[in-house]
Chain A
Amino acid sequence: MGQMIISEKSIAVPGEVLAEGMDYLPGEHTFRDGERIIAMKVGVVGLFGRQVKLTPLSGPYIPKSGDIVIGEIVGVGIGGWRVNIGWHFEANLSVKDATSDFVPRGENLSRYFDYGDYVVCQIVNVGGAKVVDLGMKGPGLRKLGVGRIFRVPSSKVPRIIGKQGSMISMIKESTGCRISVGQNGIVWLGSDDPAKEIVAYKAISKIIDESHTSGLTEKIKGFLESSKNGL
């Protein structure tokens, strides 16, 4: 037997007891101390079967293999580039992982990607303490053109994208903007209409501010519609 001390969908804070009883298992961002499951972050409590989990409301992005991320080229070398993805080490993008084209050895790689360029990549490998390898061979992986680039908390990215991309698609359709969202919390907005671009930006800001509330999809839908009418 056991019981939940903090109910699902409530916000818990590090050190708070979430559940008591050996029936419960410690899920993400929690740990077991004797009979109790304890929170390790500020987050929303969830119960999945017997697992007590927390969905954190903040926290740094931690690179995971398979994640799609947006990064800035901060180093151009001989065999590849160094990319800043917001981790405390730069990620590596090697030429062979970036393109299937034949690139002669010694070629000046800034022809392809130069300092200050932004690229959409996939993390292909996370190893050791300092290694994150990126690849660009795959659909949607590319260099980004002129657009608005801003950071969002990586913990909010799932809400911005929505279930099966529903939230981000809604914003794209309503504003006509092109939008790329990296799991690492970098967002790129492209549009020919600066006013519509600001609407998309505000919609995303609204999601970030209200991500922990219910009825978010309806709120964003309402915001997008009223912005459309206002324009």
Chain B
Amino acid sequence: MVYDKRVDGRKFDECRPMEAKVGVVEKAGGSAMFKIGKTVAVAAVYGPRELYPAAFQNLKRGVLRCNYNMMAFSGSGNRVRPGPSRRSKEISLVTEKALFPVLDLSAYPGSVVDVFIELIQTDAGTRCAGITAAAMALADAGIPMRDLVSSVAVGRVGGKIVLDLNKEEEDYEGESTDIATAFSSRTGEVTLLQMDGEVKREELKKALELARAGCEKIRELQINALRGRYKG
């Protein structure tokens, strides 16, 4: 089945409508909300703070610890049983690897910087929304960063390379591949890359270029949200 019109009418290189806001959790050191289509992620940063047990402390620099969680009512079908799952633990890990390359934690040896990500509503692209929110939250917290990280999924749906899949596209019957990416947009370097499905070798580069362009747009929103906190 040829996919020549997207289910929601978007262009193949168009993201869903997005919204970003910073400073949404007042008790946290930094926080942000990122919404893309119907996927809503909130991220909050605490730290640098003491890391237990001491055996895990790195005496040369602070340690980054990410925790991704879906609220029980945020899935698309049944209630999601609360608590960490293998999936959420893996996402927590790749989130940490996506953010760490831009951070400079050398001023906080022995500490931990905790990033908590919660999904309030989901419609695919959840780990990407979480990373995008987390990057803003880290900047909002004043953690030194060489760049923001922006994250979006690309994929292959019905033979077409598309940007920012929604759940319907992820579940597309013909055939669907989804590729989660994250970029340090200033340098254009990739910090997250995961693929679930098949893609032709020659399509990969095109998909990654499409993702990078998408991330540049997301970065603009992140920058405006961070600056927007101090308007007026």
Do any CB atoms of chain A lie under 8 A from CB atoms of chain B in the complex? yes
**Which A residues are within 8 Å of any B CB, using their own CB?**
11, 13-17, 29, 31, 33, 38, 40-42, 56-60, 62, 88-89, 129-130, 155, 212-213
Residues in A with CB closer than 8 Å to B107 are 62
Q: Shortest beta-carbon distance, A45 to chain B, in Å?
A: 12
Tell whether, in the assembled complex, residue A11 and residue B230 are in contact, meaning their CB atoms are under 8 Å apart.
yes
Tell whether, in the assembled complex, residue A88 and residue B142 are in contact, meaning their CB atoms are under 8 Å apart.
no
Tell whether, in the assembled complex, residue A15 and residue B185 are in contact, meaning their CB atoms are under 8 Å apart.
yes
Tell whether, in the assembled complex, residue B140 and residue A42 are in contact, meaning their CB atoms are under 8 Å apart.
yes
The closest CB in chain B to the CB of A59 belongs to B142
A89 to B219, CA, bound (A): 35
Q: A14-B146, A31-B146, A40-B144 given as contacts; is B111 within 8 A of A88 (CB)?
A: yes
Q: A13-B139, A31-B146, A58-B142 given as contacts; is B51 within 8 A of A88 (CB)?
A: yes
B155 within 8 A of A: no
A15 to B226, CA, bound (A): 12
Q: A11-B230, A89-B50 given as contacts; is B140 within 8 A of A58 (CB)?
A: yes
A132 to B215, CA, bound (A): 42
Tell whether, in the assembled complex, residue B29 and residue A58 are in contact, meaning their CB atoms are under 8 Å apart.
yes
B145 within 8 A of A: yes
**Which B residues are within 8 Å of any A CB, using their own CB?**
29-30, 47-51, 59-60, 102, 104, 107-112, 139-148, 184-186, 219, 222-223, 226-227, 229-230, 232
Tell whether, in the assembled complex, residue A14 and residue B145 are in contact, meaning their CB atoms are under 8 Å apart.
yes
A88 to B142, CA, bound (A): 16
Q: Shortest beta-carbon distance, A129 to chain B, in Å?
A: 4
Q: Shortest beta-carbon distance, A210 to chain B, in Å?
A: 9
Q: Shortest beta-carbon distance, A32 to chain B, in Å?
A: 11
Q: Which of B104, B145, B222, B230 contacts A212, CB < 8 Å?
A: B230
The closest CB in chain B to the CB of A31 belongs to B146
Residues in A with CB closer than 8 Å to B104 are 40
Tell whether, in the assembled complex, residue B145 and residue A57 are in contact, meaning their CB atoms are under 8 Å apart.
no
Q: A38-B186, A42-B226, A88-B47 given as contacts; is B146 within 8 A of A58 (CB)?
A: no
A17 to B222, CA, bound (A): 15
Tell whether, in the assembled complex, residue B148 and residue A11 are in contact, meaning their CB atoms are under 8 Å apart.
no
**Chain A to chain B: the 5 pairs with minimum beta-carbon distance, closest first:** A59-B142, A15-B147, A58-B142, A88-B111, A129-B109
Tell whether, in the assembled complex, residue B109 and residue A13 are in contact, meaning their CB atoms are under 8 Å apart.
no
Q: A88-B49, A129-B109 given as contacts; is B223 within 8 A of A57 (CB)?
A: no
Known: A14-B146, A59-B141. 18 other contacts (CB 8 A): A11-B227, A13-B223, A13-B227, A14-B139, A15-B185, A15-B186, A31-B146, A38-B147, A40-B146, A41-B142, A57-B230, A59-B142, A59-B143, A60-B142, A88-B48, A130-B59, A212-B230, A213-B232
Q: A38-B186, A58-B29, A89-B110 given as contacts; is B223 within 8 A of A16 (CB)?
A: yes
